[in-house]
Amino acid sequence: MKILLVDDNAQFLASAQRFLSHIQSVVVKTARNGRDALEHLKQERADLVLMDLNLPGMTGLETTRHIKMLDPAIRVVVVSLWDTPEFQAAAARAGAESFVAKQDFAAKIPSLLVAASPAAVADSAGNHAGEANA
């Protein structure tokens, strides 16, 4: 499974990438903003995009809308510190399939990956639960 992780926080990117690297059959690429994410997806398709909301320039919601116009089959999961019903609803309206609070990343992302592609995740990465909560 190809995952594009989009976040402007270098510490979270590194932590999440390290966490995801422990899951078999997952290849992770990163982007620091929405424009870079779109450029990457035009060059190389991803199965799943893990999208922060608060990005410089184009917001995560705007980027999600553009991704869905580019390829509606790409699944987008918003991953944000702003875990409120309003932001969850806005993410859904933008086309995101799911919303995960950053503090719940390690606990919830493995099951979302299984739901997205059961064959892609042989290891639940449960041994690394504390790494990606930066």
> pLDDT by residue (tens digit) across 11-49?
999 999 999 988 888 999 999 999 999 999 999 999 999
pLDDT tens-digit series, residues 50-66: 999 999 999 999 999 99
CA distance 118 to 53: 27
Measured between alpha carbons, how far is 28 from 105 in angstroms, rounded to an integer?
15
Q: What is the pLDDT of residues 78-119, one digit of tens each?
A: 999 999 999 999 999 999 999 999 999 999 999 888 877 645
At residue 115, the pLDDT reads 79
Structure confidence at residue 100 (pLDDT): 96
**Cα 82 from Cα 24, distance rounded (Å):** 29
Domains of the chain with bracketed CATH = 2-125 (3.40.50.2300)
pTM for this structure? 0.86
Task: Give the DSSP H/E element, type plus range, for residue 17.
Answer: helix 10-20
pLDDT of residue 130 exceeding 60 = no
Residues 6+ apart with CB under 8 A from 39: none
